[in-house]
Amino acid sequence: MSESLAPRAAALDAADELAGARKLFALDDAVYLDGNSLGALPAHVPDRIADVVTRQWGQLRIRSWTEGDWWTAPERIGDRIAPLVGAAPGRIVVGDSTSVNVFKAVVGAVRLNPDPARTDVLVDATTFPTDGYIAESAARMTGRRIVPVAPGELAGALGPATAAVLLNHVDYRSGRLHDLPSLTAAVHEAGALAVWDLCHSAGALPVGLDAHGVDLAVGCTYKYLNGGPGSPAYLYVAQRHQAAFDSPLPGWTSHEDPFAMSHAYTPAGGAVRGRVGTPDILSMLALEAALDVWDGVSIDTVRAKSLALTDFFLECVAAYVPEGRVTSLTPAAHAERGSQIALRCDEAPRVMDELIARGVIGDLRRPDVLRFGFTPLYVGFADAERAARVLAEVLSEQPRD
C-alpha cells in the first residue's frame, strides 16, 4: 500500500462546509456508504414521530386530519421536495410507491399523447427492473408497444411512432448520470413526452425539472432524502400538463370534492390529481421531519462535495488497491457521474461480506459489483479514505475456507 492519504482526508474534512450536517444524523462508528439504498436516520425524527403517534393519533385522533394538517401533507411535503429537484410549488405530490407513480406517469404520458400513430413507449434497457416491468404493463394496457433502448442509442430510436420515453437519471448499477437536458430535448423534438426516474439523483445533484422542460417525473424518498424505509414516493407533473393529466388511478383523495363522495369522478386541479387513496400518514410525516436536514442547504454545494468525495475515493482506491483487483464501472467524467462508485470485483460477494464485518457498509450487485453510495450530508473524506483502505486490506487476504 502506498503512503497514507489520511492526512489529506483530514484537511478536506476540515474545509468541508457541509461537515456540520453530519451531527444531524444518528450514526455510529461505521462508514455508511449505502445511503443510495437507504438513507441514514436524521436524529430528530424519532421524537417527531413519537408526537405524531402519542399526541396526534393517540389524543387528537380524527381531529388530526385538520388540526394536525394531515390532509394537506402530500402537497405540502411535495413543495418541500420541489426545490431539491428544480420544481416550483404545486408540481409535486407525495404518496404511494415509486412503482405506482411510474405506472401513473407512463400511462399519463401516453394519454397526453394519444395519436394512434404513436405506437411505441421507449424504456431504458438498463433500467431498474421494476421500471421495465411497469412500463411494459402500461404499454400493454394502453395498446402501445414497449421498446427497450440503450441510453446511448436513444436519439436514433426516437421517431414519429414514439409516444413516451421512460429514463433513469442515474443508472442504479453503474452510477452513470444520463444527460437529462439533452435527452429531454431530443424526446420533445420527436414529439414525445419524457418521464424521468429520479431515485438515484434527487438529493445528490441538481435536476432542473422545470428548467429543462421535463414532462413527468417520479422518485423515491428513502435514499438521499433520508425519509426512512418504505417512505412514500412522489410524482411531478409539469404545469403545462396538469389540466390534461389523466391519472390511471383516480381515487377519492384526487377528486375535486373528496368528501362529496360522488360516484362521478371529477379530478382536482394541479398535481393533486396524482393522489389516489388515504395518505400513509406515519411514514409521510417521518419524511416531512427528515426533510428538515435540508434547511439552508444548497443542492449545488451538495453536488460539489459529492464529486469531490467520489474523486477522492477513486484516488484512494488507485493508491491502496493492487492494480487489476477492481475496475470502476462509474464514468470518470463529472458530467456522467452520479453520487456512487461501482467497482467490478471477481470476489465481490466475499469482499462485501468482509467490508461490512469491518464496519464499511456498501452493497453488492450480483454477480461482481461492489456499490458505494456517497451521501454528502453525512459522509466525509475520512470515510472515503477508510473505505478504500479496508477494501485493500480485504483484497490482500486469502478467501476464508
Gap between the terminal Cα atoms of the chain: 25
Claim: this prediction has a pTM higher than 0.95: yes
For the record, the C-alpha cell of 226 comes out as 433520508
Q: Is residue 251 helix, strand or coil? A: coil
Residue pair 157/177 in contact by the 8 Å Cβ criterion: no
210 counts as catalytic: no
Q: Can you give the pLDDT at residue 152?
A: 85
Q: Can you give the pLDDT at residue 151?
A: 77
Indicate which residue of 371, 374, 378, 383 is catalytic: 371
> Does the annotation list 294 as a binding residue?
no
d(CA 30, CA 28): 6
Q: Can you give the pLDDT at residue 144?
A: 97
Q: Can you give the pLDDT at residue 1?
A: 58
Domains delineated in the chain? 6-43+297-396 (3.90.1150.10), 69-294 (3.40.640.10)
> Does the annotation list 200 as a binding residue?
yes
d(CA 330, CA 372): 11
223 counts as catalytic: yes
DSSP tally for the chain: helices H, then strands E: 12, 13
Give the number of other CB atoms < 10 A from CB of residue 21: 20
From the list 103, 306, 339, 92, the residue with the least C-alpha distance to 209 is: 92
Residues 6+ apart with CB under 8 A from 64: 56, 57, 70
Indicate which residue of 80, 91, 173, 223 is catalytic: 223
Q: Is residue 234 helix, strand or coil? A: strand
Q: Can you give the pLDDT at residue 2?
A: 67
> Does the annotation list 128 as a binding residue?
yes
Indicate which residue of 25, 32, 103, 128 is catalytic: 128
Low-confidence ranges of the chain (pLDDT < 70): 1-2, 398-401
pLDDT digits (tens, 9 = 90+) for 162-208: 999 999 999 999 999 999 999 999 999 999 999 999 999 999 999 99
Residue pair 197/219 in contact by the 8 Å Cβ criterion: yes
Burial class (CB in 10 A: 0-12, 13-18, 19+), 63: exposed
d(CA 217, CA 356): 34
Per the listing, cell 424521468 goes with 196
> Does the annotation list 98 as a binding residue?
yes
128 counts as catalytic: yes
For the record, the C-alpha cell of 218 comes out as 417520479
